[in-house]
Structure 1
Amino acid sequence: MKTSRDLPTGTATVPGRLPADLLAGEFSPNPGYLNTAAHGLLPARAARTLRDAVDDLTVGRIDQVALIDEMETARARCARLVGVAPERVALGSTVAAQVAVVAAALPRGAEVLTVEKEFSSVPTPFLHADDLRLRVVPPDRLADSVGPDTALVAVSAAQSADGRVVDLAAVREAARAHGARTLVDTTQAAGWMEYDASEDDFVVCATYKWLLGPRGASFMVVPADGGGLRPVQAGWFAGADRWESCYGPARELAPTAARFDIAPAYLPWLGTARALEVLEEAGIDAIRAHDLTLAERFRAGLERLGRPAAPESAGSPIVSVPGAGAAVGALARAGVSVAARDGGLRASFHLYTTEADVDLALNALEGVPAGAGG
């Protein structure tokens, strides 16, 4: 049986069409970082912007108007990323809080359909909302499970635990046939997957994974008419004129999705604005080709080691190795950063990952007996 040592020698080159000068200028990761599905790496320009902002905050050079302008830049880039107008994008801090806005708008007794082992931020707000019925089904049965009582289908485009890419076209078709709406979490998809948010009713996304921002920023796409949502988190920042909404109730809210904005977390959005700029320069098509090429290299190496990846991971840059979660500690000691999720070892590959990183992980995994702990 061939092992990872039989693979071509890893180099620092990158497959696909990514601009090498951009990567060299923005990223200098430790070898073996295969954990973007847990947290993406901050580009150099985002880090510089954040350091400058912290220095300004330290000495009192605080220009809130300029900071808000940067948030609007980030809003526009989020909108371009998923193919909608900026007026449809609301800025937040966490996916769960934005999902809760959707949950608050559903009628009492409404059925929400989701899948087993969905990341908690999606189903939990519905579970604890007043008198909603949460129905959980196997991922491969999602589209077939939509029925006349279903009000909303809520699912991640790519699943956190095993990288499974959901057949969103089938889900949408089933939802429309029964008058249901769709909510899609793109946290594990936006940044590598080609995705059109105009195809779904509601879209949520945290920006600290594949979008390479700091933790603390998320966005939500809503229909042009608001989709029946109520601005239950509205404060001064949701006002039609923010600076006139600082005192007393903000009676007139923004006519766009900004009515669902929360008060600004300046630093996360500053970093996100710069990170999204890097993704735009690299190009999502090139990123996807690069990420999937490396994921396939890892899968091929796993086959040679006799530790095949979960079949659900096919077509995704998130690869799960069933039953290998206990090996994460041993890989960490070999300089490889991966995650243990749902009993498996989860590796993920993004624009800064190289063939050498993949081979380092395979060689480290070869030295760990099946079933061995870390």
Structure 2
Amino acid sequence: MLSVTEAEFDCPTAYLNTATHGLLPARAARVLTQAVTEMSSGRMDMNRWFQRIEAARSSYARIAGVPPGRVATGTSVAVHVGLVAGSLPAGATVLVAENDFASVVNPFVTRGGLRLRTVPLERLAESVDADTDLVAVSAVQSLDGRIADLDGLAAAACTHGCRTLVDATQSAGWLPLDHGRFDYTVCGTYKWLLCPRGVSFLTVPEDGGGLRALHAGWASGEEPWESTYGPVREPARSARRFDEPAPFLPYLAAAESLALVEEAGPAAIGAHDRALADRFRSGLTSLGLSFVPAEGAIVSLPGIGETGAKLAARAGAEVSVRAGNLRAAFHLYNTADEVDRLLDALSALPSDG
């Protein structure tokens, strides 16, 4: 466990399931408790709460490496991707990776009138051509932890003049990434950024990247409190014009969680997470168990999902099962002892050899 987090987490299990949902830090839980008390007793300070939403936006912007004016708030990746899909011209061609997370792919399907091309993740960059209008991909695959070739993708998109959309939900917080290299990035923050569900961010180019503010309300006005009735006279000049109205409770907690990630530092978190994942992969090799080749914080073992998860649970370790694979995820609150506990549990499995 990183020292900066020692006072923030007190989980009774070996929680190796951040790829499903991260743990909430103590500081975020305290803020939520206080806000619920204020709501139930009629002591809401909405001006202060809106300031905390802006603090969350700014904190995320620093993690993403872009100015706050390029960050829009929202509640889910699917809504952000739907905004991008809804802004594409009819007949546009969208390139995606096989078996990518549904929230990255399905909004382009349900939009209708678009051409969807699907290729293996390893061939994504080489499949960009002159007919491609947008490439959408997760930086890290939810299913098995594989990391996309984002350098190759950025270069191919530049060569062929297409736009890019990168989902950082399974990477932001441990895999440093310059979001400014891509037209759009989206991120659900309830995993590696340790926020509650209901907090998601969208980054856009300075000029808005051709997006239409399809769900613009009063909060997306340049002067929100002067935009509460009738048509909004002036949309926000920043990415805030693409905001969904932010729900108070998740965003109040998010401001605290994102501050913690900043304090620990994504680079240091990434080094810690990768070291634990490498320890796990090395142990699996010693046990004769196979895993999907990847270099990040997620390790996926094909074909042993339910059996492996039961063994892990008996040993007090929390993992997940995806498409029949056992998936373990290692984050800043995990320790080498927890890795070894999971390896001991999985030693009961027959080896692949």
TM over 0.5: yes
Equivalent residue, structure 1, for 2:316: 335
After superposition, the C-alpha distances for 1:106-162 in whole angstroms (9 at most, x for unaligned) are: 111000000001000001000111301111100111011111110000000011001
1:369, distance to aligned residue in structure 2 (A): 4.4
Q: Deviations over 1:213-236 (max 9, x none)?
A: 001010000000101100001011
For residue 5 of structure 1, what is the aligned residue in structure 2?
none
Percent identical = 52
Match of 2:253?
A: 271
State the alpha-carbon separation in 1 of the partners of residues 351 and 109 from structure 2: 37
Who is 1:353 aligned against? 334
Matched residue type, 2:303: G
TM-superposed deviation, 1:197: 0.7
Instruction: State the 1:251 CA deviation.
Output: 2.9
**14, 33, 44: which one aligns with 1:32:** 14
- Which residue matches 2:145? 163
Q: Hey, what's the Cα distance between the residues in 2 that align with 1:24 and 1:179?
A: 47
Distance in 2 separating the partners of 1:180 and 1:77: 29
The alpha-carbon deviation at position 368 of structure 1 amounts to: 3.8
Report the secondary structure of 1:289's partner residue: helix
Residue 174 (str. 1) matches residue 156 (str. 2) = yes
Equivalent position of 1:198 in the other structure:
180
Correspondences of 1:272-291 after superposition (within 5 Å):
272-291=254-273
| Aligned structure 1 segments of 4 or more residues deviating by more than 3 angstroms | 368-371
Partner of 1:237: 219
Q: Which residue of 1 aligns with 2:236?
A: 254
Q: How many residues align?
A: 351
Look up the match of 1:128. Answer: 110
- Kept in 2, the 8 Å contact 1:324–1:370? The answer is no
Of residues 33, 57, 78, the one that matches 1:75 is: 57
Map 1:39-58 → 2, pairs under 5 A = 39-58=21-40
Q: Is the 8 A contact 1:217 1:272 kept in 2?
A: yes
Deviations 1:232-276 (A, max 9, x none): 010111111111111112231111000001112011111111001
Supply the AA of the counterpart residue of 1:134: L
Q: Which one-letter code corresponds to 2:158 in the other structure? A: R
Query: In 2, distance between residues paired with 1:320 and 1:30?
Result: 23
In structure 2, give the amino acid aligned to 1:23.
T
What is the rounded CA distance, in whole Å, between the counterparts of 1:23 and 1:102 in structure 2? 36
| Matched-pair contact (CA < 8 Å) for 2:199–2:250 | yes
Cα separation, 1, equivalents of 2:12 and 2:160 = 49
The whole-number CA distance in structure 1 between the counterparts of 2:240 and 2:248 is 16
Could you report, residue by residue, the CA deviation over 1:56-80 in whole angstroms, capped at 9, with x for unpaired residues?
A: 0111111111111000000000100
Q: TM-score, normalised by structure 2?
A: 0.97
Residues 336-355 of structure 1: CA deviation (Å, up to 9, x unaligned): 11111122100000000001
The answer for the alignment partner of 1:222 in structure 2 is 204
Contact in 1 for aligned 2:287/2:351 (Cα 8 Å): no
For residues 264 and 279 of structure 1, what CA distance do their matches in structure 2 show?
21
* Structure 1 counterpart of 2:306: 326
3-state SS of paired residue (2:209): coil
SS in 2 for 1:164: coil
Q: Distance between the aligned counterparts of 1:148 and 1:364, measured in 2?
A: 50
Of the structure 1 ranges 240-249 and 136-145, higher mean CA displacement relative to structure 2 is found in 240-249
Query: Do the aligned residues in 2 keep the contact of 1:84 with 1:198 (CA within 8 Å)?
Result: yes
2: CA distance, partners of 1:259 / 1:31: 42
Structure 1: tracts of 5 or more residues without a match = 1-13
Aligned equivalents of 2:296 and 2:290: distance in 1? 15
Q: Secondary structure at the match of 2:185?
A: strand
Structure 1 CA distance for aligned equivalents of residues 254 and 21 of structure 2: 13
3-state secondary structure, aligned to 2:101? coil
Aligned alpha-carbon RMSD (Å)? 1.2
Using the size of structure 1 for normalisation, the TM-score is: 0.92
Give 1:308-327 correspondences, 5 Å limit.
308-311=290-293, 313=294, 315-327=295-307
SS in 2 for 1:169: helix
Q: Contact (CA 8 Å) 2:139, 2:147: kept in 1 or not?
A: yes
Match of 2:276 in 1: 294
Q: Partners of 1:274 and 1:310 in 2: how far apart? A: 34
**For residues 138 and 296 of structure 2, what CA distance do their matches in structure 1 show?**
13
Residues 311-334 of structure 1: CA deviation (Å, up to 9, x unaligned): 1x2x20000011111221332232
State the secondary structure of the residue aligned to 1:123.
Answer: helix
Give secondary structure in 1 for the equivalent of 2:210: coil
* Greater mean deviation of Cα atoms: 225-234 or 279-288: 279-288
